[in-house]
Amino acid sequence: MKTTTFKGRDFLAETDFTREEIETILDVALELKRDRAMGVYHDQLLRSKTLFMIFYNQSLRTRNSFEAGMTQLGGHAHFLDPGKIYTPALEGKEVAYSTERVSDVARVLDRMGDAIAIRCYGDPVDWEYGGAHNLLKEFARWADIPVLNMEDDIYHPFQGLADVLTVKEKFGGFSGVNFTMSWAYSPSVHKPRAVPQSAILYASMLGMNVTLAHPEGMELDPAIIAQCNEYARVSNGKFRITNDFEDGVRNAHVVYPKAWCPVVMFKQPVGEDDPKKAQAIFDEHKDWKCTQETMALADKNAIYMHCLPADRGFEVANDVIDKTEGPGWVSAVFDEAENRLHVQKAVMSLVM
Ligand code: CP
pLDDT in tens, 127-141: 999 999 999 999 999
Determine which residue's CA is closest to atom 4 belonging to ligand 1.
61
- Residue 40 Cα, ligand 1 centroid: separation in angstroms? 27
| Cis peptide bond N-terminal to 269, omega within 30 | yes
- First-to-last CA distance in the chain? 17
Q: Mind listing the pLDDT tens digit for each residue in 71-88?
A: 999 999 999 999 999 999
Q: Which domains does the chain have, with CATH numbers?
A: 4-154+339-351 (3.40.50.1370), 159-338 (3.40.50.1370)
Q: Determine phi and psi for 22, rounding to 5 degrees.
A: -65, -40
Q: What are phi and psi of 343, to 5 degrees?
A: -70, -35
Give the pLDDT of residue 4: 63
The Å distance, Cα 311 to ligand 1 centre, comes to 13
| Burial degree of 169 (CB within 10 A; 0-12, 13-18, 19+) | middle
pLDDT, tens digit, 9 for 90 and up, residues 210-223: 999 999 999 999 99
Say how far apart CA 148 and CA 132 lie, in whole Å: 13
Q: What is the pLDDT of residue 3?
A: 57
**Considering only CA atoms, which residue is closest to atom 3 of ligand 1?**
62
What does the pLDDT read at residue 193?
Answer: 97
Ligand 1 neighbours (beta carbon < 6 A): 59-62, 151, 159, 307-308
The residue ranges of the chain whose pLDDT is under 50 are none
CA distance 297 to 251: 6
Q: Which pLDDT tens digit goes with each residue over 296-317? A: 999 999 999 999 999 999 999 9
